């Protein structure tokens, strides 16, 4: 559950200046600053797999992927999604984007509630956003929420392929979970080896 580090409201300018010198990343939500927790190895593997696949696919295009150090600004809020893609990055604001077309969050017990509520409600208000992707790390389940489908969730599991329509990329779910250690992946890999 979100608990602000400082109960006093923080301005956007003070927040952005503070982030430039802080050793810890923070998100700014409704004027309150929240410290970001560290990530597990599985979290990093998933985010890295997505970032790498998106980056390779987008080579030579106007669209570019960003990792978890790039902020997304929605209204007066600032978030650090795990991966985002922007096709119209505004170089005058080098520390955040306001125009991502796809945002990916890797879920954990600590972040699930915020990712599925606060961030969802914020992200769907970004005019150009086409897809919001939520990826479980403790088991294999990827939820894609698309503007084209009225922001209704669609789930994908091991053995499925996902088309990220906003960037025209299709990936097998197992590639997103490459090197991830959880019961679903262990069972999936064992059954593939047994065939």
Work out the average pLDDT over 137-148.
Answer: 97
Residue 11 counted as domain residue: no
Overall domain count for the chain: 1
**pLDDT tens figures, 144-159:** 999 999 999 999 999 9
**pLDDT tens figures, 89-135:** 999 999 999 999 999 999 988 889 999 999 999 999 999 999 999 99
CATH code of the domain containing 129: 3.90.1570.10
Residue 6 counted as domain residue: no
Residue 111 counted as domain residue: yes
Cα dihedral 72→73→77→78 (10° resolution): 40
Residue 14 counted as domain residue: no
Rounded CA gap, 42 and 52, in Å? 15
- Domain with 76, as residue range(s), is 39-194
Residue 28 counted as domain residue: no
Q: What are the tokens at 46?
A: 């998933």
Residue 130 counted as domain residue: yes
């Amino acid at each position: 559950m979100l608990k602000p580090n400082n109960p006093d409201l923080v301005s956007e300018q003070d927040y952005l200046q503070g982030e430039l010198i802080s050793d810890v990343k923070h998100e700014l939500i409704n004027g309150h600053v929240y410290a970001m927790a560290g990530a597990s190895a599985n979290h990093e593997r998933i985010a890295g797999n997505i970032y790498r696949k998106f980056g390779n696919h987008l080579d030579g295009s106007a669209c570019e992927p960003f990792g978890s150090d790039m902020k997304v600004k929605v209204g007066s809020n600032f978030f650090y999604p795990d991966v985002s893609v922007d096709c119209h990055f505004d170089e005058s604001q080098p520390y955040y984007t306001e125009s991502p077309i796809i945002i990916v969050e890797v879920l954990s017990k600590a972040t699930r509630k915020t990712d599925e509520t606060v961030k969802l409600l914020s992200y769907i208000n970004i005019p150009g956003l086409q897809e919001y992707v939520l990826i479980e790390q403790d088991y294999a389940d990827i939820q894609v929420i698309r503007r084209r489908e009225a922001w209704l969730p669609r789930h994908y599991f091991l053995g499925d392929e996902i088309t990220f329509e906003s960037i025209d990329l299709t990936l097998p779910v197992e590639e997103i979970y490459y090197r991830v250690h959880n019961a679903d992946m262990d069972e999936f890999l064992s059954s593939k080896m047994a065939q």
